[in-house]
Structure 1
Amino acid sequence: MSKRVLLIGATGRMGSHFVDALCAKGHEVAALVRASQEAAGPRRAQRLAVMKDKGIDVVTGELADQDLLDRLAAGVDAIISCVDHRPDHLQAQANLAVAASRSDRVCRIVPSQFGIDSRLYGKARVEHGDVKRAMQEAFVTSGKPVTFVHTNGLAGEWVGSLGQLGLTSPPESAVEIYGNGAVPFSTVAPEDVAALVTEALFDDRAAGRHVAIIPPDNLLTQEQLVSAWEERTGRSLRRITVSPAALDARIEALAGDPAARPRLAMAQLVRAAWIDGLGDGRRLPDVLELTELYPQLAYVRSRDFLAYYDMAGSPAKAAGRS
């Protein structure tokens, strides 16, 4: 049965894949788009045009506009948020929780919790971790069935950079290897996240709980990832080993520079993944794994995702996949 879904972040790195997945299931989609996104460049403009051609109801507005969110939530069955993990963007979702709580129609919320399950961070220093956990409390308090989705690493960010966050394509001559390079980390393509979450959106088994996407073929060490790229291209990369102590020193230096917050967040995530092993397939007892729940849905293997960068390491083929 067709449902109506409010999608936040529809023009972003993952949101466009949710548009495709929701439409493929026959759902109606209302997309909340910031006014700044309408003039954010040709790629976003193209995505907006495609959405409108598909019949998506594009609404211009901000998460800060509670009245607008209340009106939108009153007319939808579910809400999906794909906002990025900047702390201020994550915190802005609190208004979504309020809007959902006031809606008689909303029966599922999927807030932006993508990435490593923040409950696993423990003493690991990841800037947005506390904010993600606070948002979990806000959505639980809303009283609406919520599904928290944990993806570990998105392939466009982790596979395409060979685990060196911040790069938009594989390095040409040298790659940083963090620690011993032997810690496994799970990644997933954004279109597979969208397909699996859309499948779970109105599945009662995923209501009121945490779910993870840990494709069994996508659990690779950084050394395996680099070697897979070398085998594909026939080129060898020089390894630059970054010890845990050296990475910690880098994090400390970045923490002292307010202008370096994006790089600080990336360095912290690199440590959580490649040193602490928080994305190595572990999950808390309350977590449901979606590739197990929906074995009929195929997914892109991390090694195959590298094919999008084959043209001399060009990100052009992968630009729409991150």
Structure 2
Amino acid sequence: MDMKSRVLIVGGTGYVGKRIVKASIALGHPTYILFRPEVVSDIDKVQMLLSFKQLGAKLLEASLDDHQKLVDAVKQVDVVISAIGGGVVDHHILDQLKLVEAIKEAGNIKRFLPSEFGMDPDVMVHALHPGNSIFIDKRKVRRAIEARNIPYTYVSANMLAGFFAGGLGQLLDKAPMMPAQDKVLIYGDGNVKGIYLDEDDVGIYIVKSIDDPRTLNKTMFMRPPKNILSQNEVVEIWERLSGLKLKKIYMSEDQLLNMEGESYLEKMKRGHLYQIFIRGDLYNFEIGPNATEASELYPEVKYTTMDSYMKRYV
């Protein structure tokens, strides 16, 4: 039997990172978690790290600014997965360039997965300012990986269900993470298709890809067929499960793009909502020859449908 790759996860206490850690352990990989020195002051993260340690993970303390410690950590494993924060709120994507340099110097890594897990940045060259800044930085990391001939897999996990299904896409203003009980904001006509993923499924697909030659130096898109849904269809699932009938308030493209008096963060959010729910940038293109699709590669993964996912809120 082939030995499982040793996996180093950077950002293992984050929203996606902790799912990757759990999947790596569950799938039998020797699992290492890199944590920053300042994490020891955060009791919740310390407790999470200790719970992973009890499951068999090895904890490695190192700062991304300490090059030698980073190199030493990388030399202990075969695969590096980064889950460094890359959202509109917690954006540290370019910190990965330090990780790229450590991987290059170590010289032993057979696969690197940078932190992406949303829309494919190479598809999003047309993204609106200021939301395009995230995609620009992710492309810089990709090009650095390729320039240094580091073997890679890029991952596009589309919409994480906790944010986009649980809150029915209500990501403006205070962004509720629970389904509405009375009214819901619909972007455009609500019929543009998006792709929703259970976060635990994302972790499983990611870890399954790391030893797979079919994903080497390719982008792996996650497009489970039953989770290719419009915003209207997700709202309908919630209405059917809850027995509620929500009032629909429609926001046109012009209204979404021309709201006044908003913060930089809100402008970023609006740009992403436009790309997803009006342009349809998650599903308006064909997967190219240098890419693969996770649910086709791993049909044994019984992914969570949004019908099943939404039952937790009833």
TM-score relative to the length of structure 2: 0.91
Give the equivalent residue in structure 1 for 2:115. Answer: 112
Give the equivalent residue in structure 2 for 1:6. Answer: 8
Distance in 1, matches of 2:82 and 2:148, equals: 15
Cα distance change, pair 41–273 in 1 and its aligned pair in 2 (3 A) = farther
Aligned pairs (5 A) from 1:25-174:
25-42=27-44, 44-86=45-87, 88-125=91-128, 126-127=131-132, 128-165=134-171, 166-174=175-183
Give the equivalent residue in structure 2 for 1:241. Answer: 250
**Count of aligned residue pairs for this structure pair:** 303
Amino acid at match of 1:76: V
Give the equivalent residue in structure 2 for 1:271. Answer: 274
Amino acid at match of 1:98: E
Q: Cα distance, 1:45 vs. partner?
A: 3.7
Q: Cα distance, 1:223 vs. partner?
A: 0.7
Q: Root-mean-square deviation (CA), in Å?
A: 1.7
Cα distance change, pair 235–37 in 1 and its aligned pair in 2 (3 A) = farther
Q: Cα distance, 1:31 vs. partner?
A: 0.7
SS, match of residue 122 in structure 2: helix
Cα distance change, pair 64–268 in 1 and its aligned pair in 2 (3 A) = farther
Moved over 6 A (4+): none
Q: Cα distance, 1:41 vs. partner?
A: 4.7
Q: Does 1:200 align with 2:209?
A: yes
Give the equivalent residue in structure 2 for 1:319. Answer: none
Task: Pick one of 201, 222, 226 that aligns with 2:231.
Answer: 222
Q: Cα distance, 1:104 vs. partner?
A: 3.0
Unmatched runs of 5 consecutive residues or more in structure 2: none
Distance in 2, matches of 1:176 and 1:303, equals: 20
Amino acid at match of 2:56: G
Cα distance change, pair 26–289 in 1 and its aligned pair in 2 (3 A) = same
Distance in 1, matches of 2:233 and 2:110, equals: 42
Amino acid at match of 1:216: P
Moved more, 162-171 or 266-275: 162-171
Give the equivalent residue in structure 2 for 1:176. Answer: 185
Residues 102-155 of structure 1: CA deviation (Å, up to 9, x unaligned): 123210001012101122223221331111111110111221210000011111
Q: Cα distance, 1:88 vs. partner?
A: 4.5
SS, match of residue 239 in structure 1: strand
